[in-house]
Homo-oligomer: A and B are copies of this chain.
Amino acid sequence: MNDVFRAFGDPTRREILRLLRRRDMSAGELAERFPLAKSTLSGHFNVLKHARLVVAERRGTTMVYSLNLSALEEAIAAVMGLLETRRRKKE
Protein backbone atom coordinates (compact mmCIF):
# COMPACT_ATOMS: atom_id res chain seq x y z
CA MET A 1 0.00 0.00 0.00
CA ASN A 2 2.95 2.23 0.78
CA ASP A 3 4.24 1.61 -2.73
CA VAL A 4 0.88 2.58 -4.19
CA PHE A 5 0.98 6.02 -2.61
CA ARG A 6 4.59 6.48 -3.65
CA ALA A 7 3.66 5.57 -7.21
CA PHE A 8 0.91 8.18 -7.22
CA GLY A 9 3.36 10.83 -6.10
CA ASP A 10 4.81 11.46 -9.55
CA PRO A 11 2.82 13.31 -12.24
CA THR A 12 4.33 11.27 -15.07
CA ARG A 13 3.18 8.06 -13.44
CA ARG A 14 -0.32 9.39 -12.91
CA GLU A 15 -0.43 10.35 -16.58
CA ILE A 16 0.63 6.83 -17.52
CA LEU A 17 -2.26 5.47 -15.47
CA ARG A 18 -4.60 7.98 -17.08
CA LEU A 19 -3.54 6.81 -20.55
CA LEU A 20 -3.94 3.16 -19.62
CA ARG A 21 -7.49 3.65 -18.40
CA ARG A 22 -8.60 3.89 -22.07
CA ARG A 23 -6.68 0.95 -23.47
CA ASP A 24 -3.65 -1.24 -22.96
CA MET A 25 -0.49 0.22 -24.47
CA SER A 26 3.03 -0.94 -25.21
CA ALA A 27 6.07 0.56 -23.51
CA GLY A 28 7.07 2.23 -26.78
CA GLU A 29 3.60 3.66 -27.40
CA LEU A 30 3.53 5.10 -23.92
CA ALA A 31 7.05 6.49 -24.25
CA GLU A 32 6.01 8.43 -27.36
CA ARG A 33 3.57 10.47 -25.29
CA PHE A 34 6.28 11.87 -23.03
CA PRO A 35 9.31 14.07 -23.68
CA LEU A 36 11.44 11.63 -21.71
CA ALA A 37 13.97 8.96 -22.55
CA LYS A 38 12.63 5.42 -22.89
CA SER A 39 14.89 4.33 -20.07
CA THR A 40 13.28 6.90 -17.80
CA LEU A 41 9.81 5.63 -18.67
CA SER A 42 10.96 2.09 -18.09
CA GLY A 43 11.83 3.13 -14.56
CA HIS A 44 8.34 4.53 -14.06
CA PHE A 45 6.82 1.30 -15.35
CA ASN A 46 8.82 -0.55 -12.74
CA VAL A 47 7.50 1.60 -9.91
CA LEU A 48 3.94 1.09 -11.15
CA LYS A 49 4.47 -2.65 -11.52
CA HIS A 50 5.98 -2.89 -8.06
CA ALA A 51 2.91 -1.12 -6.66
CA ARG A 52 0.75 -3.59 -8.60
CA LEU A 53 -0.99 -0.67 -10.30
CA VAL A 54 -0.16 -2.05 -13.73
CA VAL A 55 0.48 -5.49 -15.16
CA ALA A 56 2.98 -6.21 -17.93
CA GLU A 57 2.64 -8.90 -20.55
CA ARG A 58 5.20 -9.66 -23.18
CA ARG A 59 3.75 -9.84 -26.69
CA GLY A 60 6.52 -10.78 -29.07
CA THR A 61 9.23 -8.17 -28.80
CA THR A 62 6.97 -5.61 -27.18
CA MET A 63 5.73 -5.25 -23.63
CA VAL A 64 2.07 -4.44 -23.19
CA TYR A 65 1.01 -2.65 -20.05
CA SER A 66 -2.48 -2.62 -18.61
CA LEU A 67 -4.14 -1.16 -15.54
CA ASN A 68 -4.71 -3.32 -12.50
CA LEU A 69 -8.11 -2.09 -11.41
CA SER A 70 -8.16 -3.87 -8.06
CA ALA A 71 -5.07 -2.05 -6.83
CA LEU A 72 -6.71 1.24 -7.73
CA GLU A 73 -9.82 0.23 -5.84
CA GLU A 74 -7.73 -0.55 -2.77
CA ALA A 75 -6.09 2.87 -2.96
CA ILE A 76 -9.49 4.52 -3.07
CA ALA A 77 -10.60 2.48 -0.08
CA ALA A 78 -7.51 3.56 1.84
CA VAL A 79 -8.10 7.25 1.17
CA MET A 80 -11.77 6.92 1.96
CA GLY A 81 -10.85 5.22 5.22
CA LEU A 82 -9.43 8.56 6.30
CA LEU A 83 -12.83 10.13 5.89
CA GLU A 84 -15.19 7.52 7.20
CA THR A 85 -14.57 7.22 10.90
CA ARG A 86 -14.29 10.92 11.53
CA ARG A 87 -16.25 11.97 14.62
CA ARG A 88 -17.22 15.59 14.40
CA LYS A 89 -18.08 17.62 17.49
CA LYS A 90 -19.34 20.74 15.86
CA GLU A 91 -20.94 21.08 12.46
Contacts and interface: CB of A to CB of B under 8 A. Distances in A.
Chain A binding surface, main DSSP class: helix
A39 interface: no
A9 interface: yes
Copies of this chain assembled into the complex: 2
A23 B79 contact: no
Interface stretch (A13-21, A29-37, A55-63): A13-21
B11 A9 contact: no
Nearest to A67: B86
Given A5-B8, A9-B9, A72 B67 contact: no
A80 B86 contact: no
A91 to B, nearest CB: 10
